[in-house]
Amino acid sequence: MKILTTKIIFIAGLFSFLSSWGQLPQTKSVNGLLITVESNLLNVPPKDKYIKVADSLDKNLARNSNDTTSLFNRALIYYLYNQMLAEPYQHTKGTLENLTRAKTQIENAIKMGMQDFRAKQLRAQIYSELCFRFTNDESWMFSKVQMTSRKKLFDNYKAMANRYIDELAMLDKNNAYQYTKRKISYTYKL
């Protein structure tokens, strides 16, 4: 009887552990910053943790591109693995493209009527991360045309990030100071 009980507890624990690797990331707001529950401000979930979830969300969005919850969650996963903490080098291949996908998805979710405050937080954070991707530009890396294009993108992302940060400060008065500290003040250096 004792062996049977031990086996049941082991199987239940194993099932609980394995199923946690296939669930959507849960979020919370800490000082006005949206983070995942299992992470904190200084770490990122393991690279393979949300692969199956991301595949499932991609399939769901292929069938129903208006699903705001799927758009939010897919944008969140893109953000998690392409933010500064996950990919600190600004020119890591694919990060700018993935953040651009995240931006498009969260914008679509909000345009379709998603009222969740977390979506607005995520949108502001994505725009801030997009700006970060332009901070290491050097003149030897790009042609004049590329520099002009990148400056235009940076200025647009900066304006949008600051606009959305101001909106968050108005909506969340308790964290207004935290939001204003995150406003982007630097300029594109090329």
Rounded average pLDDT per 10-residue block, the chain, 190 residues: 52 40 77 78 78 94 95 96 92 96 98 96 98 94 95 98 98 95 94
pLDDT for position 161: 98
Among 42, 50, 38, smallest CA distance to 75 is for 50
**Structure tokens given for 80:** 């998690």
Query: CB-based contacts of 121: which residues, under 8 Å, 6+ apart?
Result: 29, 32, 33, 34, 168
pLDDT for position 41: 57
* Fold of the domain spanning 2-181: 1.25.40
pLDDT for position 32: 87
Domain ranges of the chain: 2-181
In this structure, what are the phi and psi dihedrals at residue 36, rounded to the nearest 5 degrees?
-80, 155
Q: Residue 78 and residue 63: Cα distance in Å, rounded? A: 19
pTM (predicted TM-score): 0.86
